[in-house]
Structure 1
Amino acid sequence: MKGIIFLIAMSAIITSCNQKPAEEQRTEDLSTPIEQVSKHEKIKDKALFNIEDIAYSDHDLGNFPFFTFPNGLKERAKPLINRFDVCFFPIDSVMTPFEGKLYRVDVVSEQGEQFSKHYFEKSMETYLSSIGGVKIYDGEISRKEYDRYNKQFQRRGGQGDIGYFDEHIKFYVIRSKDKGNIYVQFSADNISGKLNVLQEEDFQQTITKITADDILKDLTQKGKAILYINFDVDKSDISTDGKNIVNQIAKALTKDNSLKIAIEGHTDNTGDAAYNKKLSNDRAHAVMFDLINQNIDKSRLSASGFGAERPLLANDSEDNKAKNRRVELLKIN
């Protein structure tokens, strides 16, 4: 009899040792790429969060980002606003990606006043609750969870960067029939606060194929064509996609044999200015040499690089920086 009891006890101990803590199992289950866990429907499959359980707010939420700062507080610097981005929010202690229009900002006191963590958090929680916001999370993520999700989406820093393992995060969801799903998270210490607002949206593909007719139309009507030709990273080698666009430039020049163009390379302001200028010059010349190899007379072409000297937009967001990394064709006759 004692032997039977001993065997049962040992079996229970072995079974217990082979079982991982629930939190650890949950974290490992969610260690999938962002492309596989980017919508709440997929999170719902894991029984962590169901947006359908949240009642619609009947309040007029206004326009993105939907609310002001509390009196006496202001943004530290110009906020990051991206038309489409990804942001991680804590659900059941797991940082989970959502996509849409993103607003991120650091919050500080106006000059001469001391920042109050309690005042910032109390203001945010009271207002969000008053407009139908539902608190989803209030706590800190583990170091293990931080390391897990940071591998697939390394911290970018900058304005309003939330999601560190020693950071207390408060996370609310507002569900609106006309504004969609709105996700709000914030954190604070005794010096400043951070705020993220994401209006969930589906990705819309805006890339279309560049044709020779498009290039000719821009050159004729505007005097220039702005193109986004892909190159190898930190090199002047034209990628396969970039080669397709250069082929269309060649077709445009073949259609109008009198057309002469200047090819200008441009970059954003990331990195060393002298290096960027040389890189943009090399890339402009790479386009020119490719056109010459396609039997376009060299006398019809010139090439130069300007680095970050002539931005289309301020280099204050990733979207704007991407638009500044371009090749311009200028009609010179």
Structure 2
Amino acid sequence: MFKFQNEQEIVNIAGVKVGGQPGELPTVLAGTIFYNKHGIVEDAAKGLFDRAAAEKVVNLQEASSEETGNPHMVHIYGTTPESITRYIDFIAEVSDAPFLIDSSEGNVRAHAAKYVSEIGLADRAVYNSINMSITEAEIEALASSDIDSSVILGFNAMDSSLKGRMDMLENGAGLLEEGLLSIADSCGIVNKLIDPSITPMGNGAGVALRMTITAKAKWGHPTGSGIHNAPSAWNWLQRKKEEDPIVYRVCDIGSTCLQQAAAGDFILYGPIEYAKYVFPMAAMSDIMIAEAVADLDIEPSGRHPINLLV
């Protein structure tokens, strides 16, 4: 393992600390709820769902976090303004954890930013995400909100190389008038969480791991990803899944370790139901990384897995 020469920022989002040198803080883990085809969702447009089942999986993640010491966030995904409003209300009711507000639709994300500001939950919300497709309307909504935490997505549809992704953050890569980090500043984002963007296996997935290290070395912001999206989009693995679903799950969950070994500070690990598998695996990685940097003047702090599980 290694230690970055540049100072590494640690941000505090509603009590959850993210960032620092490898081995300093435990990896923050965020499971997704109300995702596409999630079994507990009864009507995705209206945001109707099985409340008992939803509370059960949120509690599962919370218990896993308490046991291992890995902090957690809830990754909320909604498809309409109505649904994401209901989901935010529910998560705020059953958990004190920070939460990510996410949608494939910019107007839904913009609505969520306005809504959490109106009800006084902006300090717990992480916008997901500021990316190359962000519109002026979305920028205006985010800038007008009280949200100060956001994922900054390094996806570059025209150039998925390391340089293309880094340029997207720094200067807009010739596709935007300014870089995404500058846009984040104009929106009042203080807590910047850089996501290098996970592309499918065979289409540059590994570049995201290299960018994690490069971005932390350059800017010092907390960095992480939804790395499970790489194996989940792997055609070969999808075929293997039909033969043996366990093979798929092992690769999907096991990808967590790769992002941690590449100095990731946070991971969006996919379906929240996987918490019981992901948290022990992440804790194991955190312990090994902490032991690897023990002679580099990096000391694990607080409720780190190495202080709880060994």
Could you state the TM-score of these two structures normalised by the residue count of structure 1?
A: 0.22
Give 1 or 2 for the bigger CA radius of gyration: 1
Could you state the TM-score of these two structures normalised by the residue count of structure 2?
A: 0.23
Greater per-residue strand proportion: 1
Ranked by relative contact order (alpha carbons within 8 Å, sequence separation 6 or more), the top structure is 2
